Amino acid sequence: MRRTLVTAALAIALVAPVAAPAQSAPDDPHVATQESLDALRSDWTAPGGVVVAGDRDDEWTVSSGTAAIGQDRPITATDKFRVGSLTKTFTASIVLQLVDEGEVDLDEPIETYLPGVVQGANDGTEITVRNLLQHTSGIPDYLQIERMLDPRNQFRPHTLAEIASWGLEKPSEFEPGTEYRYSNTNYIVAGMLIEKVTGRSYDQELNDRIIGPLGLTDTYLPEPQHKQLVGPQVRGYFGQQFAYLDVTELIEPSMGLSGGGIVSTGADVAAFMQALADGTVVPRPLLPEMRTPNDLPGSAPKYGLGVDEFELPCGGVAYGHYGIWPGYQTIAAATDDGRHAFVGMNVLNFADGSAGMSGREILGRANTMVTALCDNG
């Protein structure tokens, strides 16, 4: 999306002061998290940032800056973000539910479920369902392809099949199962798998299997061409220093779908991650499958099936994911003992190179999420 947003930024500019970081009071029980969030926001020149964290007995929020430039409006736990690739954990969870129901086998070739879809440049008889969810398929990322960068494709609706075809037409990057390389196309194909096996839309399965049962009332997958966020929201920006472009409604939402299209809040994402860790979303016997690291060459050797592993400085581990969408950066995880945390910021820059990094790398630089998970007050 870099080329399109840079072009847009040249045409439109928004210049406004950004609120100063919140100052921690001497009796603030979450000083460490507040200081980490302030530093993270400063590092990436974000208008605002938020942490929503807690355990089974309590939940708390710290905020820095503002949800919208020109307003003094701290981000709250119920303000909506475009959470980008946090969607992948939802998608992987649905696939694992289908595994539990005997409808899908993780080690079965994707050709079994989607005959003729993955062929030619990529071999669906060699790529398993596990390879897709683990990013070890070798299928190229459609987000790095020319069609994704074409403005004409960013302002019209798309289907899962169309978006998947953009990645599938490119030659495989490696033999399936030999390397890890993050590819959004994997999770678009996983969305197609869900639709084929269930005979229902991805959106219906998402609502009936996760959003409804968990009561995630502020979480939804936008309909194609519905660019406006519903209800209280965090505005997303491109830019830095004192020049920002509001890109909240710039990109066609169906560019993300099962790979990155969900809109949610810090409270809802934290609740989902905790329910996942507790065995409520994916049956507990399948959690080890989900969490088993790929242990392969690449940038995330601890990535499992839609979750990554985060070691905590206070001991233990958390499992979660990270997300990027133009204007937004998010990350969230939970532990088996009931701790959970969501971190979100409302900027995504290109001039400083952050767009070429994973959400985990961007938000992990200040370790804000792990600080929150270890912050017992």
- pLDDT, tens digit, 9 for 90 and up, residues 78-88: 999 999 999 99
% the chain with pLDDT above 90 = 77
Q: pLDDT value at position 377?
A: 57
| 113-125 mean pLDDT | 96
Q: pLDDT value at position 5?
A: 41
Residues 176-202 as b/e (b if ≥16 CB within 10 A, e otherwise) read: bbebbbbbbbbbbbbbbbbbebbeeeb
- The domain segmentation of the chain, as residue ranges, is 2-16+28-373
Query: Measuring CA to CA, how many Å separate 226 from each of 52, 107, 146, 179, 281?
Result: 27, 37, 24, 37, 28
Tally the residues of the chain. 377
93: annotated active-site residue: no
| 251-263 mean pLDDT | 94
Specify the 3-state DSSP secondary structure of 239.
strand
State the Cα–Cα distance between residues 153 and 218, nearest whole angstrom.
Answer: 28
Q: What is the pTM of this model?
A: 0.91
Nearest to 107 by CA among 132, 90, 140: 132
State the Cα–Cα distance between residues 13 and 308, nearest whole angstrom.
Answer: 37
Q: Residue 145 — pLDDT band, cuts 50, 70, 90?
A: low
Nearest to 260 by CA among 175, 200, 188: 188
Return the DSSP state at 52: E
Mean pLDDT of the chain: 88
Tens digit of each residue's pLDDT (9 = 90 or more) over 217-246:
999 999 998 999 999 999 999 987 778 999
State the Cα–Cα distance between residues 264 and 284, nearest whole angstrom.
Answer: 25
In the structure encoding, which two tokens stand for residue 237, read together? 């920006």
State the Cα–Cα distance between residues 369 and 79, nearest whole angstrom.
Answer: 18
Top-level class of domain 2-16+28-373: alpha beta
Choose, from 36, 63, 64, 85, the residue flagged as catalytic: 85
